[in-house]
Amino acid sequence: MVYTFQEILKIYKTRKKLKDALKSGKIYKLKNNVYSNKKYINPMIVTSKKYPHGVITMDSAFYYYNLTDVIPQKVYLATNRNSNKINDDKIKQSFMSKDILNKGKTEIMINNNKVNIYDKERLLIELIRKRSTIPFDYYKEIIRNYRQISDKLDMYKIEDYVSLFKNEVGLFNILQREVF
């Protein structure tokens, strides 16, 4: 289980007991303000715990949903446009307006820990929007995997998400041409 400092302090009651638990190896400090009873934890869980208002996106989410077999080297996190910049080499942060940040956000459980992640429909829109910044082979692999599950995608959600962006018609045309 992964805990914030406040959560772990409720368990151990005092900083002294927490410090003893850290020394004995009962608890591990994974990052500033993030603790666990296991030494190695999925980076998406740690990032979600440290940044609870962010949403896992792009490469991290594609890998989680088995849309690619490329293991991401960083955790991709979407945050509010007004958020502070995250200074962590293991996190790739993208900024979004408050209006669109939480559209398509869903909560999943990974090893009994809550993680905010975009659903597959929202990820498809993000993929199309950022296609010019993604390596061509990687993009094609993900599109090919989306084609295989296209009958399971919710078209109403996709239409709703596409309408959030300025180039709505262009995005929808690309979706029709490449996925459906």
Task: Give residue limits of the domains in the chain.
Answer: 2-41, 44-178
Q: Identify the bridge partners of residue 2 per DSSP, sorted by sequence position.
A: 36
The reply to whether the predicted model has a pTM over 0.85 is yes
pLDDT at 180 over 90: no
Q: Are 83 and 95 a contacting pair, CB within 8 Å?
A: yes
| Cβ neighbours, 10 Å, residue 32 | 8
What does 58-115 look like in DSSP terms, one character per residue?
A: HHHHHHHTTS--PPPSSEEEEEETTSPPP--TTEEEEEE-HHHHTTTEEEEEETTEEE
Model confidence over 112-162: pLDDT tens digits? 999 999 999 999 999 999 999 999 999 999 999 999 999 999 999 999 999
Q: Identify the bridge partners of residue 95 per DSSP, sorted by sequence position.
A: 79
Q: Which residues of 58-77 are buried (b: 16+ CB within 10 A; e: fewer)?
A: bbbbbbbbebbeeebebbbb
Model confidence over 70-89: pLDDT tens digits? 999 999 999 999 999 999 99
Residues 6 or more apart from 108 whose CB is under 8 A from it? 64, 114, 115, 117
| 99, two tokens | 């209006």
Q: What's the rounded Cα separation, in Å, for the pair 63 and 149?
A: 15
Q: Residue 24 burial (CB < 10 Å; 0-12/13-18/19+)? A: exposed
Q: Determine what percent of the chain is predicted with pLDDT higher than 70.
A: 100
